[in-house]
């Protein structure tokens, strides 16, 4: 029923969108210059036609983050989402640094191998920073850019100060704690009822992957995504849609207007009655805005 590489706890999923996405997850042995061996990379592809849409998840996330959005976009467009290097169910090879530059290289080879045509690039939270970085490096690949409650205007992570032994291990174990993850999940939503047991399971399944904590430590030690200067953001020429929950308690709401000011060819739309994850809390509205943006 489910792919064999997923942990057995996937069988505890209860919501139809979660179950359907789990059943559609695939893996590819992806050749990149990052490792002498192919990197087994996890992804989902649904739909056909139109400009391909490529969805990029947030920090410590996975393809499950887009379980409610993928089927809505796939009605009109070929829709992809991928587990970034060091995250989700994608392999974490020894010797790879898991820096933003490595994540970008891995994403490029995923795109080149499986998509290989211009895309509408959609990044949520940390995935927004990754999408901005990718767009600035490969502008010919990105036809349009969509930022959902995006990181990128405040650099680094508070966790980086803890990333030395033994605090680095303790920090990741803190993030693994179910009560901590449940608290983070509730903070991400305005409607706390959506932080269900199923939602928490979706957000935690990848913690069972080998070396989850090592990759998270390595990424955080690298400094993560630095803050983009306004001058750098001004180099983005692609039409850019900024979607932002009006009740975001994770990143707040100030950066929405700052992105709008920095990116000339951009449009800001507030998602009402919504927290940090419009793609999960208001998927119909989020999908509608993305599809109308084409």
Mind listing the pLDDT tens digit for each residue in 68-90? Answer: 999 999 999 999 999 999 999 99
Asked if 113 and 28 touch (Cβ cutoff 8 Å), the reply is yes
| Residues above pLDDT 70, as percent of the chain | 94
- Grade residue 221 by pLDDT with cuts at 50, 70 and 90: confident
Each residue's pLDDT tens digit, 243-276: 999 999 999 999 999 999 999 999 999 999 999 9
pLDDT of residue 257: 98
180 band by pLDDT with thresholds 50, 70 and 90: confident
Taking 90 as the threshold, does the pLDDT of residue 157 lie above it?
no
Which residues fall within 8 angstroms of residue 220, CB to CB, at 6 or more apart?
157, 159, 160, 163, 171
pLDDT at 168: 53
- Does this model's pTM top 0.75? My answer is yes
Whether 197 shows a pLDDT value over 60: the answer reads yes
Cα separation, 172 vs 216, in Å, equals: 7
Q: What is the pLDDT of residue 170?
A: 57
**What mean pLDDT is predicted for residues 104-132?**
98
- Write down the pLDDT at residue 24: 98
Q: How far is CA 158 from CA 6, 122, 171, 215, in A?
A: 30, 25, 11, 17
Bigger pLDDT: 215 vs 170: 215
Compute CA distances 91 → 106, 190, 234, whole Å.
11, 33, 35
Q: Does the structure show a pLDDT above 90 at 175? A: no
Domains located in the chain, CATH noted = 8-292 (3.40.50.1820)
The mean pLDDT value of the chain amounts to: 93
Angle, to 10 degrees, between the axis of helix 167-176 and the axis of helix 212-221? 120
- For 38-59, the pLDDT digits (tens) are 999 999 999 999 999 999 999 9
């Amino acid at each position: 029923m489910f792919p064999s590489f997923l942990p057995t706890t996937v069988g505890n999923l209860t919501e139809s969108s979660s179950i359907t996405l789990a059943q559609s997850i695939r893996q590819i042995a992806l050749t990149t210059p990052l490792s002498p061996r192919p990197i087994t990379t996890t992804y989902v592809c649904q739909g056909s036609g139109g400009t391909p849409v490529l969805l990029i998840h947030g920090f410590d996330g996975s393809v499950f983050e887009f379980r409610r959005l993928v089927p809505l976009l796939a009605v009109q467009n070929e829709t992809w989402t991928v587990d970034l290097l060091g995250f989700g169910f994608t392999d974490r090879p020894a010797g790879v640094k898991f820096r933003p530059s490595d994540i970008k290289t891995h994403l490029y080879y995923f795109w080149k191998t499986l998509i290989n045509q211009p895309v509408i690039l959609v990044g949520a939270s940390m995935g927004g920073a990754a999408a901005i970085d990718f767009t600035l490096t490969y502008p010919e690949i990105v036809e349009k850019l969509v930022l959902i409650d995006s990181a990128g205007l405040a650099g680094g992570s508070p966790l980086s100060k803890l990333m030395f032994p033994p605090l680095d291990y303790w920090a990741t174990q803190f993030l693994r704690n179910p009560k901590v993850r449940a608290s983070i999940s509730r903070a991400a939503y305005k409607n706390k009822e959506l932080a269900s047991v199923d939602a928490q399971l979706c957000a935690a399944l990848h913690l069972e992957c080998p070396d989850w904590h090592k990759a998270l430590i390595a990424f955080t030690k690298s400094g993560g995504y630095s803050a983009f200067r306004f001058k750098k953001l001004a180099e983005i020429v692609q039409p850019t849609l900024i979607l932002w929950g009006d009740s975001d308690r994770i990143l707040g709401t100030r950066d929405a207007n700052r992105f709008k000011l920095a990116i000339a060819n951009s449009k800001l739309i507030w998602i009402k009655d919504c927290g940090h994850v419009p793609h999960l809390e208001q998927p119909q509205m989020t999908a509608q805005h993305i599809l109308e943006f084409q």
